[in-house]
Amino acid sequence: MDFLGLLILENRLKPETKPILEELIAANIRTVMITGDNIQTATTVAKNCGMIPESSKVILVEAQGPNSSSPASVTWKLLEYPQNGKNNKLQETPISFEDGFDGKTQTIADNDYHFSMSGKTYENLEKHFTYLLPKLLMNGTVFARMSPGQKAAIIDDFRKLDYYVGMCGDGANDCAALKMANAGISLSVQEASVAAPFNSHVTNIQCVPELLKEGRAALVTSFCMFKYMSMFGLIEYINTLLLYWQRNIFGNNQFLVHDFAIMFVIFLTMSSTPAYHKLAPYRPPGQLISPSMLLSVVYNILFTIAMQTYAFLIIQEQSWYSRTDVYSACHPGNTSLNINLTHELISERTKKNYESFENSTLWLLTAVHFVILAFIFSKGKPFRKTTVY
């Protein structure tokens, strides 16, 4: 046998990874690595891709279970690269937290450190140091040597802390975590695609910001359409009440113009607006019954009542206005005569069209109001684009 050389394999970061993580961090979306790789390898990757800033410290957490000679214990080690630059191996420096790290007093300032731990440590923490888990999860960034069950357990613990968790995975060992997450994204068309509700044909995390943008835009659009449909029915109801005051109502053709010619076009445009190209640093309202939603609807209802009532009354004050009331020919003193004359006048009006200034005014005003309301509820930035294209 002749020695030809050494074959060295290196798995470098994909060029899309770091910019996408920077975009997520800029949008105040926390990123966490849960992997089965070695803990030092995972920590180095987290440093290189920007999940752990250069100015932040990395603390390796190691938890040991009880044995015959000693109880369960937790140790803390500061991971640092050597300053001389001769090698890139992380150095471990033992450190101590005051009072056993109770979450109140520690030697390192808050938000200036990231925890890194293995699956075995996480399992021991769950069994013997439950009170430490919330703080460790709030500042934990790297979870290495994790089994499929431990991945799912971490997702569940994050959800218990009121996080909305999204999970990316590309293998069968990620299926449990993908199902446990609020939004699971499979980067593979193999086993993980069966468990994940979302599948990406692009095998990198580029799909994560796209899913967030589309999800936020869909949520905002749904609330927008709900508010518009509510206002549509209330506006027509207010019109009907005002016109009933004069024994009047919109005709079938007038209702057809409102329902089809205006609403159909508005529905196509309002629901077709694409997502905004940039992630906002905050989320849209997640509940239909929220102060912002209710106040916008209530304000528009009050504005509609005031506007249409004013138009209904001001039209009667015009010099060219001609009042044609069904009771104008009735005699005030004879009830039976009034009823007969009223029936005769109504039957005559049903046989032919007649002029109604209030009807025409409210119909035109309502048509314009529907268009203006569509612009008001079709909010663009920061979750949707301002135009459809």
Instruction: Report the C-alpha gap between 388 and 22 in whole angstroms.
Output: 28
Taking the C-alpha atoms of residue 207 and residue 202, their distance in angstroms, rounded to an integer, is 7
Asked whether the predicted pLDDT for residue 3 surpasses 90, the reply is yes
Are the beta carbons of 40 and 89 closer than 8 angstroms? yes
Q: How large a percentage of the chain has pLDDT more than 90?
A: 33
For residue 270, what pLDDT is reported? Answer: 84
Per-residue pLDDT at 358? 86
Cα-flanking dihedrals φ and ψ of residue 6, to 5°?
A: -110, 135
| pLDDT of amino acid 103 | 45
**Each residue's pLDDT tens digit, 67-123:** 878 888 888 888 876 665 555 666 777 776 544 444 444 445 455 789 999 999 999
For residue 353, pLDDT beyond 60: no
pLDDT of residue 339: 46
Largest CA distance in the chain: 126
pLDDT by residue (tens digit) across 113-134? 899 999 999 999 999 898 889 9
Question: pTM of the entire structure?
Answer: 0.77
Q: With a cut of 90, say whether residue 141 has pLDDT above it.
A: yes
252: pLDDT strictly greater than 50: yes
The residues, ordered by sequence, that sit 6+ positions from 47 with a Cβ below 8 Å of its Cβ are 54, 58
Q: Which domains does the chain have, with CATH numbers?
A: 17-212 (3.40.50.1000), 214-377 (no CATH)
